[in-house]
Amino acid sequence: QAQLVESGGGLVQAGESLKLSCTASRSISITHAAWYRQAPGKQREWVGRIIPSGGTEYADSVKGRFSISRSYVKNTVYLQMNNLSADDTAVYYCHVPLGDRGYWGQGTQVTVAS
């Protein structure tokens, strides 16, 4: 079955770093991929994306702190998060824009304690 699985979330202190992974089934091409996050009571927020060239684009709220990368060998997209703050606390989701609605992962919780 085609699926995306996020991992790497957890509890960290403010100022620390965390790296999330989104591993896709072999049937899902990760040529285009994006990360989103959703905090309790808030709308889902676009975090950033990676395009076929390997170029990336980010929301202003994370620019300069977060970076997206990819391994085609592992069929995995990564989100490196540095200098985390309490405002980054959310469930993080990866998304691949294939078909009507694309594919979504189940999400991984990131909690930043101050």
Taking only the tens place, the pLDDT of each residue in 54-95 is 999 999 999 999 999 999 999 999 999 999 999 999 999 999
**Chain centre distance of CA 7:** 10
Contacts 24+ apart (CB under 8 A), 38-43: 38/90, 38/91, 38/93, 38/107, 39/89, 39/90, 39/91, 42/90
Q: Mean of the per-residue pLDDT values for the chain? A: 97
Q: Is 26 left (phi over 0), alpha (psi -120 to 50) or beta?
A: alpha
